[in-house]
Amino acid sequence: MLVAIVLCLALLALPGFFGYGTLVVRSGSMAKSAPVGSLVVARPLDTRDVRVGDVILVRRAGATASAPVMHRVVTLTPTGGERSS
């Protein structure tokens, strides 16, 4: 039992050592990709590296403490002179 607890804690903490973060999915809007209760592992990504079809986590504008929202990228629109692919 102790081994299982240590293993679970390691799986939750280990991604942080490599710049990744973990989040639990709390809504069903992305159920086909990540059902409610799923553990999502995410890493920071430069906007230039985002591609159509990627699943990304974004924070709502002006939100400081709220959980990020998961979206699938369906189109890219250039803003501020940046190029999109």
pLDDT score, position 14 = 67
pLDDT score, position 15 = 64
Contacts of 68 (CB under 8 A, 6+ apart): 23, 42, 57, 58, 59
Q: How many domains does the chain have?
A: 1
Q: What is the domain extent for residue 66?
A: 2-72
- As a whole number of angstroms, the distance between CA 61 and CA 64 comes to 9
Q: Is 19 a domain residue?
A: yes
Contacts of 76 (CB under 8 A, 6+ apart): 50, 51, 52, 84, 85
- As a whole number of angstroms, the distance between CA 83 and CA 77 comes to 8
| Tens of each residue's pLDDT in the chain, 85 residues | 788 888 777 776 666 666 777 788 888 888 888 899 888 888 888 888 999 999 998 877 776 667 788 889 999 887 765 555 5
Q: Is 25 a domain residue?
A: yes
